[in-house]
Structure 1
């Protein structure tokens, strides 16, 4: 269900006009967290990373951004919000309570597919 909500938010970026024209707006797909950008704490979800699973925590919502830490092996993760990358994949900004690091993790690697609260960018 959470994935459907995110996909629906992404689809809002294109509007059909009654005349048959399609008008494109600056939707969520064009927004991302540039390297070094943090996200606001909009979500109160705390999860535990699955045992044996590891994901890089990055400085922005892209694999080209530097690695700041890791979310792995039952770490306690506090979700803040999500945004999109240039390829329309969603990423969650989070706080790793187990080691005190903050960073962006691709939602496909997170429990429950990451945060359900959009960062606003």
Structure 2
């Protein structure tokens, strides 16, 4: 998720090397450096395994949508509230550059994908299998 961009800057007619570390503004907390994760398409019939031992966390962003795939273009099938109990399964990298966690909202029985920046502790720490 991180990259290096090399540019040249001119100050008083003298070229100076300039190195910037670029971190995408939309990206969630980097997870699993070197781990290959995949985007889950909208309406995917594949339910990832429940690899994460966290099964009773609360505190998600009010109104965060639970979606049928790891993208904001996927249909919302429910939402979470800060008081809801969440069971994290695993995370993946969406095609939008964000990481997403598959979860079950035990308060409403809805399950699906939620973007990690809307979840407590940035969602699951366990990547979904490819």
Question: Given the two structures, how large is their TM-score scaled by the length of structure 1?
Answer: 0.74
Greater gyration radius? 2
Post-superposition CA distance 1:56-114 (Å, at most 9, x none): 00000001110010011310000000000113210000000001110100000000000
What count of residue pairs does the alignment treat as equivalent?
100
Residue aligned with 2:57, SS: strand
Residue aligned with 1:88, SS: coil
Equivalent of 1:48 in 44, 48, 58: 58
The CA RMSD measured in Å over matched residues stands at 2.0
Post-superposition CA distance 1:10-41 (Å, at most 9, x none): xx27xxxxxxxxxxxxx43xx20111232211
> 5+ residue gaps in structure 1?
14-26
Residue aligned with 1:48, SS: coil
Correspondence 1:78-93 to 2 at 5 A? 78-93=87-102
Are 2:128 and 1:119 equivalent residues in the alignment?
yes
> 5+ residue gaps in structure 2?
1-28
Partner of 2:40: 33
Question: Given the two structures, how large is their TM-score scaled by the length of structure 2?
Answer: 0.69
Identify, as 1 or 2, the structure richer in helix: 1
Correspondence 1:63-102 to 2 at 5 A? 63-102=72-111
